[in-house]
Amino acid sequence: MTAPRVGLIGANGHGRWHRRHLAPRHTSGGLRWVGVADPAPIDPDPPLPPDVPHFDDHRALLRDARPDVVVICTPPQTHLAIARDAFAAGCAVLLEKPPVLTLADHRALLAAGGVCQVGFQALGSVALHRLVAGIRGGALGTVTGVATVAAWQRDDAYYSRSPWAGRRATDGVLVNPLAHALMQCLAVADAVDAGPPVRIEAERYRTRAIEADDTAFVRLTLRAGLPIVAAVTLAGEEFIRGDIVVTGTSGRAVLEYPTDRLTLPGAGTCAFERIDLLDNLLAHRADPGVALVAPLERTAGFTAVVAALTGAGPAASTLDGELVADIGAGPARVRSIRGVNELLRRVASEMALPSELGVPWASPPWTEDLVPHQFGPSGSGGLSPR
């Protein structure tokens, strides 16, 4: 069998992760890496294999290298146009998250009719699949709430890494770095047929001179009434990797999604493997009977929330002064909100926003009714993890 031909569009930044992922498969013959496209010189770490050409433009790669599959790892505002070009060239696409930034673009990309897997690697987690099976099997009784908590740190250099970093229209803590946490919550809600998000309430904060937020408290209400709360920050104190907490009338489950560790009532804590999204896409291309793990339509609920967070609501409130501590200096400076980790956990536990908990520095929440999307019968597009 001829090895599939794979191209990478966007080779720097996070594209370096994909380069590390592609290189051993290329060397072993599992796929043929036929080129990278990036208008900038390629960062030498990791080095490109000598037989992988560099194109300045993605259209040249599509025309001259003739890939069967392309990985698109470019700024999110470019995804729609590049993916359309790839579909027109007959390629299946692995599209980095966020796939697009508006529901109109989501509809347009679906209408283009190509095979598209979105780079939500955590949706390939066997732990998520076990959690969904446990929920459907009644391990938690009736699910009453889903929450996510994460406390990460990012330095000033993180926000100067690209022109779109820190911009409200293209970035934000739930739009990019902690997008997986939001997507995991929507996938869990899909397991109980809770429907799409129909209302968002958000408090958004920033600790430096950026447009986007680096700390967010968001409560979604789904069509069936189920609440989802996200309490996340890039200005944390101690590190919280990322917990998905599912509460039901008969128990509570916790999925630590970056490590794929799952705690279920009566089953203890176990760590699980992941299904690789590129391998899954290649398997689907060879046999369409193999279901995609993260098809574009499954991410519609995520796009609806992203569109609201990057849209017309108020700017993120600025936190500074004695509330915020600086760690380090220069590009390596990290900002940390005092007491934020305790607040994150309290918000997730009580399913209440900081302003509702009487936090003195909290701003009034911004609220918007969302138009339910029509891409599938349920909140994350109508497909469940397999």
Residue 372: pLDDT band (50, 70, 90) is low
Least confident range of 89-103, 195-209, 363-377: 363-377
Q: Report the distance separating Cα 185 and Cα 299, nearest Å.
A: 12
Predicted confidence at residue 228, as pLDDT, reads 98
b (16+ CB within 10 A) / e for 302-328? bbbbbbbbbeeeeebeebeeeebeeee
Phi, psi of 137, deg, nearest 5: -85, 0
Both tokens of 153, joined, read 């740190």
Predicted confidence at residue 312, as pLDDT, reads 77
Nearest CA to 379 out of 194, 125, 102 is that of 194
At 302-361, the pLDDT tens digits run: 999 999 999 878 999 999 999 999 999 999 999 999 999 999 999 999 999 999 999 999
């699910």: which residue's tokens? 143
Predicted confidence at residue 118, as pLDDT, reads 98
Superfamily of domain 126-269+314-369: Dihydrodipicolinate Reductase; domain 2 (3.30.360.10)
Predicted confidence at residue 380, as pLDDT, reads 42
If 0-12 CB within 10 Å is exposed, 13-18 middle and 19+ buried, where does residue 248 land? buried
Question: Residue ranges of the domains in the chain?
Answer: 126-269+314-369
Residue 169: pLDDT band (50, 70, 90) is confident
Average pLDDT score over the chain: 94
